[in-house]
Amino acid sequence: MPSASQGDAQTDNKSDRETAVKQIQTGKELRTAEREGLKMSIGEAQLIKAIDRAIKALEGPSTRCEMKMHEATKTITIKVFNQDTGELIREIPPEKTLDLVAKMMEFAGILIDERV
């Protein structure tokens, strides 16, 4: 039969475990706690992992920006790339549009030069 001190120790361990579980907020903290021997119920672990995935989805992909000048029109262009895949996400203004504007400027210049 457990003594009163053993019952108090079990209660303390349970409250310590509950406090530790409440402090875990990310998947990284969950993995660290599991390595240190903290046992969590499957439901608690799944909840933390689901929240982690939701946060990652809301953050979106990591991106990098590239700014340069379009030579023909002397306009600054900004390109946004997905850093993980290298995929072009957005280009402001589109390079094809600037190329079209440059051709139009060139064509207008040819017409004006021929008239003079």
- Please, are residues 94 and 87 in contact by the beta-carbon 8 Å criterion? no
Same domain, 44 and 72: no
Instruction: Give per-residue pLDDT as tens, 22-45.
Output: 566 667 777 787 777 777 677 777
Same domain, 33 and 75: no
Q: If we measure between CA atoms, which residue out of 53, 93, 57, 87 comes closest to residue 73?
A: 93
Same domain, 40 and 72: no
Domain that holds residue 24: 4-59
Same domain, 78 and 107: yes
Which pTM does this prediction carry? 0.46
Amino acid, single-letter form, for residue 110 = I
Number of domains in the chain: 2
> What pLDDT is stored for residue 110 in this prediction?
63
Same domain, 40 and 18: yes
**Mean pLDDT per segment of 10 residues, for the chain of length 116 residues?**
52 60 69 75 77 77 88 89 90 93 84 54
Same domain, 8 and 55: yes
